[in-house]
Amino acid sequence: MDTGAFNGKRVLVVGGAGFVGSNLVRLLLSGSPEVEVVVVDNLLSSERENLPSDEARLELRVGSIADDAILGEIRDEFDTVFHLACFHGNQSSIHDPIADHDNNLLTTLKLFNHLSGFKRLERVVYSGAGCAAAKKTYDAASATTEEAPLSLDQDSPYSISKLVGEFYAVYFHKQHGLPVVRARFQNVYGPGEVLGAGQWRGTPHTVWRNVTPTFIYKALKGEVIPLHNAGASTRDFIFVEDICQGLIACALRGKPCEAYNIASGRESSIKELAEHIVSLTKSAGGFEVLPRRDWDTSGKRFGSPEKSRTELGFEAKVPLEEGLARTVAWMQDNLPRIEGCMAKHQAQLEALAGS
């Protein structure tokens, strides 16, 4: 990163115990010896252990950013705010749209409203979702640009909340001068994504989270990898280190109000992803071809990295094969911890299976 760029700065990371957040916190701490970081996280989809426990420059406040008592403790003493809290993920939000509202949208509204008028604040970086902005297609996809028209037709409350979060970013910038930059993530993968992290959120997807760690876990266990829609859907997979560099570039060089794709710009099919993982893990489990998931109409998509490259100087550096190899190695090394988190949800899973 821009070494030392956050020296002497106070940084707030909302949702900072999560997958991306904990990677970002570590990068901030390692890149700037004189940074101070405060994390607010209610540990809904993360574990306290994701963050270093013996770091004097880091303070973890456990609670929801939508809670007035927690929010009231956030004073005008931060230079940068990264807002990464969400209700994880699509299926859980379909199961419980109110919980999604409370943790994915109300969080954004209350945080932006609270920060408006702060004098010290240089940048707020909001984590938007490329999936909410992408055109829904099963034909050949073209790279989604930041200027592509946004659709009202969204697949999940999660997606709606991410998009409305961007509407609020624009509103609070225009009406109240909040210096908020919209970082639109593509599909992030990498070390630190713990299957089963956090609390039960109503469906087995609480355990399985995203496609990459799910496939790697099943491959490591020699289990069958499920290929919905024959694995024909495509995504723009971006390594978590690259996403964190993109977030930092948004904080340092992003123009308030603007959206930036933090994307690799490379389109890979789910089948290709599965094949890489099987080859890296030498799994004998094979694949199972399944029908398309009925809620998912997102099909093929990838993001254009052009604007981020020219305006932020950001480029994703880690190729998929290398990123997957590092993720497989991390999951192998952390299997007991991951399986401990997965086991927490076993009782709910068994109750679901029996009902």
Residues whose CB falls within 8 Å of the CB of residue 157, separated by 6 or more in sequence, listed in order: 93, 94, 97, 100, 101, 104
Tokens found for residue 5: 């760029």
Residue in the block written with tokens 């089948």: 271
- What's the rounded Cα separation, in Å, for the pair 341 and 207? 8
Residue 198 within binding range of ligand NAD, rule CB under 6 A: yes
- What's the rounded Cα separation, in Å, for the pair 165 and 233? 26
Residue 20 or 278 with smaller CB distance to ligand NAD: 20
- What's the rounded Cα separation, in Å, for the pair 29 and 244? 12
Residue 185 within binding range of ligand NAD, rule CB under 6 A: yes
Residue 342 within binding range of ligand NAD, rule CB under 6 A: no
Q: Which residue is nearest to ligand NAD (CB)?
A: 18
Residue 85 or 121 with smaller CB distance to ligand NAD: 85
Sign of CA dihedral 125, 130, 132, 134: positive
- By CB under 6 A, name the one of 9, 26, 162, 182 that touches ligand NAD: 162
Residue 14 within binding range of ligand NAD, rule CB under 6 A: yes
The per-residue DSSP string of 276-339 comes to: HHHHHHT----EEEEPPPTT---BB--B--HHIIIII-----S-HHHHHHHHHHHHHHTHHHHH
Residues whose CB falls within 8 Å of the CB of residue 275, separated by 6 or more in sequence, listed in order: none
Residue 206 or 281 with smaller CB distance to ligand NAD: 206
Residue 46 within binding range of ligand NAD, rule CB under 6 A: yes
CB of 94 to ligand NAD, least distance (A): 15
273 within 8 A of 212, measured Cβ to Cβ: yes
Residue 48 or 350 with smaller CB distance to ligand NAD: 48
Residue 285 or 331 with smaller CB distance to ligand NAD: 331
Residue 307 within binding range of ligand NAD, rule CB under 6 A: no
CB of 8 to ligand NAD, least distance (A): 26
Residue 45 or 156 with smaller CB distance to ligand NAD: 45
Binding site for ligand NAD (CB under 6 A): 14-15, 17-21, 40-46, 64-66, 84-86, 88, 103, 107, 127, 129, 162, 185, 187-188, 198, 210
